Structure 1
Amino acid sequence: MNNNRKVEERFQWDQNAKKHSNISPTFPKLLLSSIFLISILCLFYTLSFSNASNSSNHQLSTSKTIRVISKEMPSPVSSPRGLNPVVKTNLHHIVFGIAASARFWEQRKKYIKLWWKPPRMRGIVWLDKAVKNGSSDEDRLLPPVKISGDTSKFKYKNPKGHRSAIRISRIVSETLRLGFEGVRWFVMGDDDTFFVPENLVRVLSKYDHNQLYYIGSSSESHLQNINFSYGMAYGGGGFAISYPLAKTLAKMQDRCIQRYPGLYGSDDRIHACMAELGVPLTKEPGFHQYDVYGSLLGLLSAHPVAPLISIHHLDVVEPIFPNVNRVQALQRLKVPINLDSAAIMQQSICYDKIRSWTVSVSWGYAVQIYRGIFSVRELEIPARTFLNWYKRADYTGFSFNTRPVARHACQRPFVFYLANALYNKDTNQTASEYVQHRISRSECNWKMADPSRIEKVHVYKKPDPHLWDKAPRRNCCRVLPTKKKGTVVVDVGVCGEDDVIELR
């Protein structure tokens, strides 16, 4: 544009010169041609110099821009983790640090073996002291075992706690220093925790692993959260720390630990260091500390509309299925997890309007049938089949809404637990069967259909691995007609645009 303007100005100058010139028309043409040629040469030289200057300035400006970008936005190749940001987070990007005790290792390694997936998963079990090695076949089904570093130099002054809290709080930093490659997340957990790895990946995939993230959840006990913090990730239920945050934590953690000798556990020491780093807890409700006693039926059958990630305190709570031990119960749960991990424990509620029943499906776990019509708002609240971590606390001691277990014989639900599940590739459907758990009951004199005559519930559902890529919404279900005696058939699936769970 500058060149055009100069040409125009030159042209205008020539025109004005001709207009006001005193040279007669008879002036020799040779002289005029010479003047014109000299003008053109001068103009060409001026333009060339201008272009050269502009080009030089442009190159200088560009090189400065590149240098600035290279400092603020490192290329994937120069990343310390050597990651391609286009690749979606998968199991290989996660490294586990599992806190374990030699005293309980023989029992609790059975829990880890249920969810660990070699060689797709990476991690370390950190023990307080050496244990006897199992068979080579058993070792291949477990993460490698290491002994935590010496923590005798650190002060510990809590009269109710144990020094092991210090070594456990350093697990993420010690795991980082082992030099695993391609790490995006470090996940902390206990040896009495059952993880659903596929759902862990689904949750962590939502977040930018290049940022400083501290992801987990609170306790179910309000008093626990008051005594420690609502802003703390409880370690037993598991929490995730992004790679950059783990690096930052490792640089200052030992100094940080020395500043808090009076704290009780490992997770509150981690939280104290996070507070000093200014990184808040990002809450994900699928991490479950389960600071409760008793049956998890009420909690699991009304699971939040979020992926189930972990179940902690397996040695404290009752087995999740009746008449089996804890390991057998989790082995049964693995069957539906392998078929449709995204949907495990997800609640859907519908009505058998002919018999005036309410049906609540916790997919892959249990189905409950209630006499009468109950609102969704009521049934999405967990029934108190469990006790608070502080056994003297009443229902106000929980950090979430609960509802009482019905005392009236006619209002107590009939519970059907998962017996088996399979996948039909021809119909792209899972079929799961739930069998009634028989218990002694008081007589009900309501003049309505009696669910006690139902032996089984069959639930059909299409797997939806992308369930959590969309906005969270509870699945819909409907009771299907059937000629099978003693059987209720339910179809579960993604709600349609106009689907509403209406009472009537």
Structure 2
Amino acid sequence: MKQLQKDYSSSDSNNIILSLPKLVFCLLLCLFLSLSLTSFSFKSLSTPSLPPPNNHPSVTTHITLPDPAPQPQPDPTQLRHVVFGIGAAANKWARRKEFIKLWWVPNATRGYVFLDRHVDDPGDPNEHPTLQLKVSEDTSSFGYSYRHGSRSALRMTRIVSEIIRATGSDPGQEEIRWVVMGDDDTVFFPSNLVRVLQKYDHNKMYYIGSNSETHVQNINFAYDMAFGGGGFAISYPLALEIEKMQDSCIQRYTSLYGSDDRIHACLAELGVPLTKEPGFHQFDVHGNLFGLLTAHPVAPLVSLHHLEIVDPIFPYMGRLQALQRLKIPTKLDPESLMQQSICYDSRRNWTISVSWGYAVQIIRGSIPPREMQRPARTFFNWQNRDEPSSFSFNTRPFSKHPCEKPYIYYLFNAMFNNEANVTASEYVMHRMPHPWCWWPIDNPERVHRVQVYKKLTDPHKWDEAPRRDCCRVLQADKKNTVAIDVGECKEGEVMEPLLS
């Protein structure tokens, strides 16, 4: 056994010894092939390729992909792209049409007034072909179960659908981008409305407006609902979708009160939320709008509603006459209308607030901008009460202290100064009693007029982040006059209140 093992071991050793030359040979062969391949690779990289023979010319092909065709950019939205749907009642049309005539631009604005029955009205504004009076379609087949409401809400709800059907054969139908709803006592500012709509893609589904100023109204209806009196805009693609489903949708909401909450319910089914724009004003308030208008949000003024309920916006005038006065600054610079700027007269220790195109306030002492930009409560809530907690925004008292009661100057006139390239507006003191003040501060009562100079609004102002304009007190030529410059804030400019 041991011998066999020994022989076996000896045999293996001999085999290994005999196979060594073969192994060495294989290793050398592999090394040679590797070196050859490496040398060939380097040579291929470093040696330029020889030109092909003359009888086989080289053809180099470059594949160039065509640039994508530029997509045509649509023109910015203009007034011709908007169609209005105004809800009205025949028994109020004789006086309410005067509100529409204030803002309707003949042969430029287009739309329909929907009435509950036919009226004989051969005069303005029916004579303009761009405004048509229509009797609403019959809604007697629709259910309405709200106990204290009016069935007219049904026909007002269907204005969107009826406009779509009415414009289907309109030669200018292809131009329509927006359907804008409002009431017959709503005053629109069309150029500002257009400026707001230009921010949005009319090819998408948009529902644009704002809610009520009073909590109870928002609670009863919805905070995310556009109130119809203040007006709202619906993009044309969305209006088309509403028309397809509106009648069946109305039948599902017989217990709702008005037209705007029915629209809101249908839009909820379509999944389209409200896009809020603070320039639409429902004005579910009573009393004087002065506090609301002089602290207008930093946004274009789009609409005013309930103008037969609130006081005239200028004192000692009828409602229509007061609104007529607003047309003067609206023609000059509509986007600046009601925009507030705040500054301080350090020499006389006054706070000055300019609401361009409407009113100027001069107040003794130094009131911070944080306070001045809050509406002063010159108005009451929808229940005709003075309750600060009733409003869906912060307010402040009209005057906390007898010495802080403002001296008010209302717009008297405005014009464009071609030489200076600025608007010049003049505001005259509103005579009203003031309590006795013991502060050792100049009495603003000596100022009878305020002159405001302002450049026209930058056309790109509302495309940028919103910011209030700044104002600066100028040296006036007359003792009883204050001169103010209003314009974009300069770099580093701050509305810094005076030290008390």
Q: Aligned pair in 2 of structure 1 residues 121, 296: CA closer, same or farther (>3 Å)? A: same
In structure 2, the gaps of 5 or more residues are 1-36, 41-52
| Aligned partner of residue 105 in structure 1, secondary structure | helix
How has the CA–CA distance of structure 1 residues 272 and 132 changed in structure 2, closer, same or farther, with 3 Å as cutoff? same
Give the Cα–Cα distance (whole angstroms) in 2 for the partners of residues 348 and 379 of structure 1: 9
Choose from 236, 239, 257 the match for 1:264: 257
Verify the 8 A CA contact 1:98 1:189 in the aligned structure 2.
yes
Choose from 326, 335, 341 the match for 2:328.
335
Task: Tell me the distance in 2 between the aligned counterparts of 1:371 and 1:141.
Answer: 53
Alignment correspondent of 2:99: 111
Name the counterpart of 1:18. none
Deviates more, 1:460-469 or 1:121-130: 460-469
Counting only pairs closer than 5 Å after superposition, residues 195-214 of structure 1 correspond to structure 2 as 195-214=188-207
CA-CA distance at 1:168 after TM superposition: 0.4
Aligned residue in 1 for 2:122: 134
Identify the residue that residue 469 of structure 1 maps to in structure 2: 463
Find the partner of 2:445 among 424, 439, 452: 452
Task: Please tell me whether the aligned partners of residues 342 and 465 of structure 1 are also in contact (alpha carbons under 8 angstroms).
Answer: no
In structure 1, how many angstroms separate the alpha carbons of the residues matched to 2:293 and 2:130? 27
Q: Which has the larger radius of gyration?
A: 2
What secondary structure sits across from 1:267 in the alignment? helix
Deviation at 1:141, TM superposition (A): 8.9
Partners of 2:116 and 2:354 lie apart in 1 by: 42
Amino acid at match of 1:341: P
Tell me the alpha carbon deviations over residues 451-504 of structure 1, each in whole angstroms, 9 at most, x when there is no partner: 011111000001115121222110000010123021110000011121111113
Which residue of 291, 307, 318 maps to 2:300? 307
Instruction: Write the letter of the residue equivalent to 1:463.
Output: L
Query: CA–CA distance in 2 between the matches of 1:231 and 1:448?
Result: 47
The Cα shift of 1:440 comes to 1.9
8 Å Cα contact 1:340/1:465 also seen in 2: no
Alpha-carbon deviations, 1:112-158, whole Å to 9, x = none? Answer: 00100011111001111111213368733982111000000000000
Offset at residue 392 of structure 1 (A): 4.5
Residue 501, structure 1, aligned to residue 489, structure 2: no
1:252 to 245, 252, 270: 245
Are the equivalent residues in 1 in contact too, given 2:101–2:125 (CA < 8 A)?
no
Moved more, 93-102 or 480-489: 480-489
CA deviation string 1:307-348 (max 9, x = no partner)? 100000010111100011011111100100100001000000
Please state how far the C-alpha of 1:371 moved relative to its aligned partner: 0.3
Q: Does 1:478 align with 2:472?
A: yes
State the shift of 1:405 in Å. Answer: 1.8
Aligned partner (choices 342, 345, 367) of residue 374 of structure 1: 367
Flag the 1:328–1:393 CA change in 2: closer, same or farther, 3 A. Answer: closer
CA distance, structure 2, for counterparts of residue 96 and residue 311 of structure 1: 15
Letter in 1 for 2:180: V
Residue 273 (str. 1) matches residue 266 (str. 2) = yes
| Local SS of the residue matching 1:410 | helix
* 1:217-236 alignment runs, 5 A limit: 217-236=210-229
2:155 equivalent among 127, 146, 167: 167
Match of 1:288 among 263, 281, 299: 281
Aligned position for 1:31: none
* Secondary structure at 2:237 match in 1: helix
Q: 2-side partners of 1:157 and 1:356: how far apart?
A: 60
Which letter does structure 1 place at the counterpart of 2:247? D
Q: 1:35-434 counterparts in 2 under 5 A?
A: 85-135=73-123, 139-140=127-128, 143-179=131-167, 180=170, 181=173, 182-392=175-385, 394-406=387-399, 408-434=401-427
Q: Which amino acid aligns with 1:147?
A: V
Shift in Å, 1:447: 1.6
**Partner amino acid for 2:489?**
C
Verify the 8 A CA contact 2:110 2:130 in the aligned structure 1.
no
TM-score by length of 2: 0.84
Q: Secondary structure of the residue that 1:280 maps to in structure 2?
A: coil
Q: Please give the TM-score of this superposition, normalised by the length of structure 1.
A: 0.83
SS at 1:199 equivalent? helix
After superposition, the CA RMSD in angstroms is: 2.7
CA distance in 2 between partners of 1:325 and 1:362 (Å):
21
- Residue-by-residue CA offset, 1:141-189 (whole Å, 9 max, x unaligned): 9821110000000000001210000100111110111124110000000
Structure 1 stretch displaced more, 104-113 or 84-93: 84-93
Letter in 2 for 1:483: D
Total equivalences in the alignment: 442
Write the distance in 2 (CA, Å) between the matches of 1:136 and 1:386: 34
1:85 to partner: Cα distance: 4.4
> Which range moved further: 175-184 or 411-420?
175-184
Cα deviation, 1:244-268, whole Å, max 9, x if unaligned, reads 0000000000000000000000000
Which shows bigger deviation, 132-141 or 349-358?
132-141
Q: For the Cα contact (< 8 Å) 1:113–1:141, is it kept in 2?
A: no
Q: Report the secondary structure of 1:447's partner residue.
A: coil
Taking only the aligned residue pairs, the percentage that are identical comes to 57
Partner of 2:28: none
- Measured in 2, the distance between the counterparts of 1:321 and 1:141 equals 33
Which one of the candidate residues 482, 496, 500 is aligned to 1:488? 482
Shift of 1:234: 0.3
- 1:88 is aligned with what amino acid? P
